[in-house]
Structure 1
Amino acid sequence: MELTFNDEQTTALLEALGLAADTADVAVILAAIADLAVAENAIAAKAAGKGLTLIDAAQLAALELAAEEGRTVSAAAAKAVVNGHVDTAIREGKLPPARRDHWVKLIEADAAMADVLASAPVVIPVTEAGYGNAVGGHDGAGDDTSPWFR
């Protein structure tokens, strides 16, 4: 099989091999190609000896994109956990809704604050109080005002 190059292709090949533009000896060109292959294999072997692996640019870009997506998902999950701790404490009456942002920032800065918030006492009543039929032993039977006045 005969392989022929035009002038532009020959110039590009010689530049890629680091040879002078007027190099015409085929043996020199083949030796440069062989040296390049050996050098590339030597680089790969040296990298492998240090625990490294060579990958192409497309694979590296795909890995970097996947890593960025993973960081985004991880950050969103962490934010959801923090918000869950604070929302639970608000529902249980351990802190007022006005302090929500404060506690979110505290827990984001120090995850141990979630335990502090979970062990906090209930300071805001969240159950209904003050009415019903069985207050003080009076069941309110026959008395239309008993649920309203005690």
Structure 2
Amino acid sequence: MSAFTKPSHIGRKISRIRELRDMKQEALAQALGTSQQTISALENSEEIDDEKLKQIAKALGVSLEALKNFSDEAAINFFNNFYDNSGSHGTNFGTNNVCNFNPLDKLVEAYEENKKLYERLVQAEKDKVEYLEKILKDK
């Protein structure tokens, strides 16, 4: 941890997570139903009550615990470990994708399932009409 940041400064943690999520203060303000100035003030606060933190965490898409325990070092370690375990080592990220199924087979499966559902729906309607006709004949 650098000497410039305090580990307990929750406002800086909010700011860093917001920046990592590529979110502007205005966007966070809109998600919370407040103003950009309020977000700026929150990011300068050393302490924020838990209820407000829950709302902020939800708007940022993280858990309350992740927000409270965030550190730059942990984030860097996470991404370093992800890269080290990705197997791509020096290649473009995401180029080693392997498709384990034939998309046309999946399309045919979906079509067959829709056909079966339609046939069940038609049969249910026929049963309903038959039932109503029986009721009318009995009157």
TM-score, normalised by the number of residues in structure 2? 0.26
TM-score, normalised by the number of residues in structure 1? 0.24
Structure with more of its chain in helix, by fraction? 2
Which one has a bigger Cα radius of gyration? 1
